[in-house]
Amino acid sequence: MTGSYCIVCGQVLHFPGSLNRDEVDGGEARCLLCQRVDPPFERAVAYGSYEGGLRDLIHLLKFQQVRPAANVLGRVLAGTIASMEKVMPVGTIVVVPVPLHRNKKAQRGFNQAEMIARGAVKQLSRPKRFDLLTGVLVRRRETGSQIGLTSHQRRENLRGAFAVSDPTRMLNRDILLIDDVFTTGTTASECARVLLRAGAARVWVATVARTLKIADVRISALPEDLSEQDSEDRLGVAAQG
Ligand SMILES: [Zn+2]
């Protein structure tokens, strides 16, 4: 995605007046939420907005089981990952798809995040730089839809849903978490926390699409469009570690 966005979580920022992003914090502008509390991941990037053709392609894969769509989505995601690569540590990056519960995976026939990750890793040319690892981050509980829940409810809904089956595989590793869509960041944050707790060094996030809501970059006053609930949610998480 191009334009003005939070350097950490990828949230679209509204720069007041004639400012452009390079004039704010040297192009490293953060949304208000990321100014207040660091998310558990280093950065979250997405290829594009969850709308139009991109949304259609994701739906083809997920709901109509059109598997070749995963290669297309993987290819575009590879470009996005490549653009983030320069700020990632040297050495091997472990690529971890957000897992589905086994019942859901059986029902769909595949995990779309895993297929997209596979497609992306194939495109990323440097051998050994990106190492796909599946089956270690697991979803041990089925979770209902996150749609319509408050941020607190979303976090409660996912609490304990993910686990690392073999922490030795994550110890001191740099992880790139992959998913199809980044909506509120609750899933990515929860996975990142579980990975860090298992000993991972750092977690990065790349998704094909993200839903966009406009946040204000101004620091001085709380804008109306920053949800207090979101902020409390992340502060609560930070307090609990
Ligand atoms: Zn942010």
CB 208 within 8 A of CB 46: yes
Contacts of 20 (CB under 8 A, 6+ apart): 4
Compute the distance from residue 62 Cα to the ligand 1 centre, in Å.
Answer: 28
For residues 188, 179, 97, 35, the Cα torsion angle rounded to the nearest 10 degrees is -30
- The DSSP secondary structure of 116-145, one letter per residue, reads HHHHHHHH--STTTEEE--SSEEE-S----
Q: How far apart are CA 114 and CA 98, in angstroms?
A: 7
pLDDT value of residue 127:
66
Q: How far apart are CA 145 and CA 124, in angstroms?
A: 32
pLDDT value of residue 44:
95
Compute the distance from residue 67 Cα to the ligand 1 centre, in Å.
Answer: 32
Q: Token digits for 77?
A: 């995601």
Q: How far apart are CA 89 and CA 98, in angstroms?
A: 21
pLDDT value of residue 234:
64
Residues with CB under 5 A from ligand 1 (ion): 6, 8-9, 11, 31, 34
What confidence tens digit (pLDDT) does each residue in 42-98 have? Answer: 999 999 999 999 999 999 999 999 999 999 999 999 999 999 998 999 999 999 999
Give percent of the chain with pLDDT exceeding 70: 80
CB 156 within 8 A of CB 185: no
Compute the distance from residue 35 Cα to the ligand 1 centre, in Å.
Answer: 7
Q: 217: closest CA among 46, 49, 12, 1?
A: 12
Domain ranges across the chain: 13-240
* CATH architecture for the domain at 13-240: 3-Layer(aba) Sandwich (3.40)
Compute the distance from residue 155 Cα to the ligand 1 centre, in Å.
Answer: 18
* Predicted model pTM: 0.85
Compute the distance from residue 44 Cα to the ligand 1 centre, in Å.
Answer: 9
Compute the distance from residue 239 Cα to the ligand 1 centre, in Å.
Answer: 18
